[in-house]
Amino acid sequence: MPVKIRLQRHGSKKRPFYFIVFADARSPRDGKFIQKLGTYNPLTVPATIQVDRQKALEWLHKGAQPTDTVRRILSFKGVLYLKHLLRGVDLGLFDQATAMEKFTKWSSEHDAQIRKRQDEAQRNRRARRPMPGRRPERRSENGG
C-alpha cells in the first residue's frame, strides 16, 4: 500500500485550512486517512504550520512520499534536514550529538528569521491602518 503525506482541505469557500495527513495514495483528497500529522493555515502572514516532527520522521523512514506542497512544508519546518542529518549518522559521517547540535543551531536561526518576518508583517499592517482621531481629507468633486 503506497502511503502519501498530503494536504486534506477543510474550511469554507475561499478560506482554506489544511490538515497534513498520511493517507493511502488511492484514497480521495478529503477522504479516509491513516494518521494526522499537523495543520497548515496559508491565510496568516507568514503561514501557520504545526507539524509533529517525530511522526513525520517515522513515516518518512517507512517510505511515505510527500506531495510537492507537503515537501516544502516539511523542509520549512526542518523535518527533511533532520532526516538528512540522521542519514549521515547512519552512514557514520558524524555522531548523534553532532547531528542534534547542527539541527538546534539551524532551528534557532530559522526561528529568528520567522520572528523577523512576523514583526515586519505586523509593522506593515500598522502602517496601512488609518490613525485614530484623524479624518481622511475630503476631495471636492468640482476639481477645485
- Supply the CATH classification number for the domain 3-128: 3.30.1320.10
Residue 113 phi/psi, 5-degree rounding, is: -65, -40
pLDDT in tens, 80-133: 999 999 999 999 999 999 999 999 999 999 999 989 988 998 898 888 877 676
- What is this structure's pTM? 0.81
Distances in Å between the Cα of 14 and the Cα atoms of 33, 35, 72, 82, 121 are: 24, 26, 22, 34, 22
Give tens-digit pLDDT for 35-71. 999 999 999 877 899 999 999 999 999 999 999 999 9
Contacts of 87 (CB under 8 A, 6+ apart): none
Quote the strand ranges of 16-139, DSSP E: 17-24, 35-41, 48-51, 65-66
Environment class of residue 26 by beta-carbon count within 10 Å: exposed (0-12), middle (13-18) or buried (19+)? exposed
